[in-house]
Structure 1
Amino acid sequence: MAHPVDVHVGKKIRQRRWLIGMTQQQLAGRVGIKFQQIQKYETGANRVSASRLWDIAEALDAPVSAFFEGIEEAENAKAVHGQDNVPADILADKEALDLVRSYYAIPENQRRRLFELARVLSDVA
């Protein structure tokens, strides 16, 4: 069984990779390993060594500490959903990350209008 810390670090690697729009193949190429190894890291099936995590952090342009952020909350939060029916780990959802990426691709004035529309619609629901 995978250690919870390995699973958390793997999720953070996947989140960062998705956020910047990088594939497993691209990350593996930058780190010098096969993409299957990235898959194993991201699921927590394989533990990431310190030196490999350093290489991954460089390839993803993130500090090593970013992969440990929120680990205390993740360990303590046993409920699937937090307040307001929002998943506790919303950035673990690829659809949510795609939505955020698309949202920030919209010009700012239109983005504000879209945000207000979303607020109105969510108040109706």
Structure 2
Amino acid sequence: MASKKSPNPIDIHVGSRVRLRRMMLGMSQEKLGDALGITFQQIQKYEKGTNRVGASRLQNISTVLKVPVSFFFEDAPGGQGEDGGFAEAPRSYVVDFLSSSEGLALNKAFVRIEDPKIRRKVVDLVQALAAGADEEE
């Protein structure tokens, strides 16, 4: 009787930010669920946006993931955008990058490189590879 409606874009965004932060910390869905007293399946539903995260639960998640509640709404659809004064430019590419397993692995490895000259060489290598991929297209 109740019709299946698609998740709200804000719920999807908040869920993706929960997933991003959880992955940045290397925390499993099960571990986050245990800390909140809920199942990992519920965490999956939050992360997909199929279940809306209530205010008190979002506060608990922010405490466990060690970020302010505002973190979950950064770059949300329908946000301030260019009219926000000092608002930063959208960083969706950063979120997309860190949401991928390759991006997360690359980021974790990169921050462990202490020598700035080697870090620069890594950036130069990635830029050269990207330029090569552009030429092949």
Matches within 5 A, 1:63-78: 63-72=68-77
Superposition TM-score, scaled by structure 2 size: 0.73
Superimposed CA distance per residue, residues 18-43 of structure 1 (whole angstroms, 9 cap, x where no aligned partner): 11111111111212211111111001
**Partner of residue 37, structure 1:** 42
Amino acid at match of 2:130: S
Instruction: Note the residue ranges of structure 2 that are not aligned, 5 or more in a row.
Output: 1-5, 82-92
| Mapped pair 1:11 → 2:19 | no
Instruction: Note the residue ranges of structure 1 that are not aligned, 5 or more in a row.
Output: 77-85
| Mapped pair 1:55 → 2:60 | yes
Determine which structure has more spread, i.e. the larger CA radius of gyration.
2
**Partner of residue 90, structure 2:** none
Which residue among 99, 102, 115 is the counterpart of 1:95? 102
Amino acid at match of 2:106: L
The alpha-carbon deviation at position 73 of structure 1 amounts to: 6.7
| Further displaced range: 40-49 or 108-117 | 108-117
The 1:65/1:111 distance shift into structure 2, 3 A limit, reads: same
**Partner of residue 120, structure 1:** 128
Give the match's secondary structure for 2:77.
Answer: helix
Matches within 5 A, 1:104-115: 104-109=111-116, 110-115=118-123
Amino acid at match of 2:103: A
Amino acid at match of 1:105: R
The answer to which structure, 1 or 2, has the higher relative contact order (CA under 8 A, 6+ apart) is 1
Q: Distance in 2 between matches of 1:73 and 1:30?
A: 31
**Partner of residue 25, structure 1:** 30
Superimposed CA distance per residue, residues 35-56 of structure 1 (whole angstroms, 9 cap, x where no aligned partner): 1111110011111000000000
Q: What root-mean-square deviation, in Å, do the aligned CA atoms of Structure 1 and Structure 2 show?
A: 2.3
Superposition TM-score, scaled by structure 1 size: 0.79
Q: Distance in 1 between matches of 2:54 and 2:94?
A: 29
